[in-house]
Each structure stands twice: as C-alpha cells, then as structure tokens.
Amino acid sequence: MNFFVQARREFTAFFYSPMAYIIATFYLLFTGFTFWILLKNEANANAMRSLLSFLGFIHVIFIPMVTMRLLAEERKSGTLEMLVTAPISDVEIALAKFFGALSFTVLMMAPTLLYTWAVHKVGGHPDHGLTGASYTGLLLISAAYVSIGLFISSLTANQIVAAILTFVVLFTFYFLLGFVAGSAAALPFNEKVDWPAVVNYVHFGSRLQAFGKGIVDTRDVVYFLSVVALGLFLTVKSLESRRWR
C-alpha cells in the first residue's frame, strides 16, 4: 500500500531535519517549565488537569511549526511533481502526510506522560481516568490542528506563511471564538439562531473542556473527527487543483 510507504517517509522526514529537534526540545522545555510552576502551586492531581487544559493552547503554537513544511516544502522544491506523478492517489498523499505529522506530534507529546509520575512522586494521586480522557481530547484536538495545518500548507509554497496562517486560524478557533461567545451581546440578535450556542459549538476551547473534566462526550469526538475529515478533504481538493490551474 502506497499510503504506508509515503506515511513512513513523512514520519522519518521529521528526524532528518534539525528543525524538528528544535521544536520538540522547546516543546518539552515549555511544558516542563509550566508543569513545574503548576506543581509548586498545587502539589496534586489538579496540577495535571491544569496542565492538560494548558497543552491545548500550547499546541496552537507548536503544531503550525510541525505542519508548515508538509506540502509547502514539496511545492517549493518541486518534489510535489515527483510525488504526484508516481502511482499514488491524492487521497493517499493527504492521509500519509496527516498521519506522518500526527505520529510526530504524539511522539513529541509522549514525554509529558512522565508528569503523571511526577505528581505521584510529590504525593498526589494521579487520576488515571481523568488523564486518559484528557489525553484523548488532546489527541483529537491535535489531529484537528494537524489537519487544518496540512490544508493551509497545501495552499502556499512558503513555509513561514503557512505557519503564521495556521497559527492565526487555530488561535481564532481555540481562543478568539471563546471570547466572542463570552461577549454574546455583541452578536447580531436573531430569534432563529442562537449565536452564542453556535459559536460555542465550533469553539475548540469549549469542546476540549469536557475532556478536562474526565468526560469523553461522543458529540465532542465526532466534532473533532469532522474537522479532521474536512481538513483532509480540503487538502485533497487543493492537491487536485493543479488540474484546473
């Protein structure tokens, strides 16, 4: 299956570039430092919960850097021509790039599980159910981020532009929409549409909250998976667009 061949290439490509090591290092420093501060304030499982809700935002900063090169680099260097003239479908390419980047993200996240152990050490009782739910949420929201980042990376040959644009979009969905929902009065009044509810529905931050409480709500899962599917669909369309340009 060509999907596996390409997915493997995408995953290993991260380890060829110094950029990935730099990103991963900063990620660990950043989360480790945050966790250390949190642990000093409340030496119990609460530190873990606070950290996880914080990670959702950290990923808004780090995932654009992971996804920026996925297709922008191929476009710039021309390797996209080699890839799409090989017998691999556009869907396989999109999926391979998505899973390659998601695998790297998961690997980057993995060491944060050590913090659970740290909580244990300082005498707190880590809540494994809560941790499990939180990581499920984190994985889902990261998948959504990667999918959006992949699509944006397919639109440009400039990695920096891709990273910034992805950051802006993720920031909007994670943060700004929450702000908008909070000031619901500012929204145009309409009897038929409950704007605050609509905004809350698509707001990544609100969607993540339940996971942080240890609840894995099917609606939230479906929501994030839909975002993933939409991002992949748009990526495939963008790859196909060479056909009418």
Partner 1 sequence: MIEVDSLVKRYAGVTAVDGISFKVDKGEIIGFLGKNGAGKSTTMKILSSFFPPTSGSARVAGFDCVTESMEVRRRVGYMPERVPIYEDMRVEEYLRYRAKLKGVAWRGRERAVNEAILAAGLKEVRRKLVGSLSKGYRQRAGLADAIVHKPELLILDEPTAGLDPGQIRQVRDLIKQLGTQTTLLLSTHILSEVELTASRILLIHRGRLVASGSPGSLVGGSRSNRRFLIEIRGGGVLAEAMFRGMPGVLKVDWIQGEEWQGYRLETGYETDPRVDLAHFAHDNGWDLRELREERETLEDLFVRITKTDEAGPQVTVTPEPAAPAAEPPAAPAGDPA
Residue of the chain from 21, 79, 182, 229 that contacts partner 1 (CB under 8 A): 79
Give the residue with the Cβ less far from partner 1, 12 or 25: 12
Give yes or no for residue 6 binding partner 1 (CB under 8 A): yes
Give yes or no for residue 29 binding partner 1 (CB under 8 A): no
DSSP summary character for residue 188: P
Compose the 31-70 pattern: x for residues touching partner 1 by CB under 8 A, - for all others: ----------------------------------------
Taken in order 32, 33, 37, 38, is the CA torsion positive or negative? Answer: negative
Least gap, CB of 80 to partner 1 (angstroms): 8
Helix residue spans in the chain (DSSP H): 2-16, 18-41, 45-67, 69-77, 79-84, 90-109, 114-121, 128-153, 159-171, 177-182, 195-202, 204-212, 218-240
Contacts of 20 (CB under 8 A, 6+ apart): 14, 66, 104
In the numeric block, which tokens belong to residue 38? 């949190």
- With b meaning 16 or more CB within 10 Å and e meaning fewer, what string describes 154-182? bbbbbbeebbebbbebbbebbbebbebbe
Give the residue with the Cβ less far from partner 1, 52 or 239: 239
Q: Are 231 and 144 in contact (CB under 8 A)?
A: yes
Q: Which stretch binds partner 1 (CB under 8 A): 74-82, 136-144, 199-207, 212-220?
A: 74-82
Residue of the chain from 77, 114, 179, 198 that contacts partner 1 (CB under 8 A): 77
Give yes or no for residue 168 binding partner 1 (CB under 8 A): no
Compose the 84-103 pattern: x for residues touching partner 1 by CB under 8 A, - for all others: xxxxxx--------------
CA atoms within 13 A on the CB side of 222: 4
Least gap, CB of 40 to partner 1 (angstroms): 41
Give yes or no for residue 9 binding partner 1 (CB under 8 A): yes
Give yes or no for residue 123 binding partner 1 (CB under 8 A): no
Interface ranges with partner 1 (CB under 8 A) = 2, 5-6, 9, 13, 16-17, 77-82, 84-89, 242-243, 245
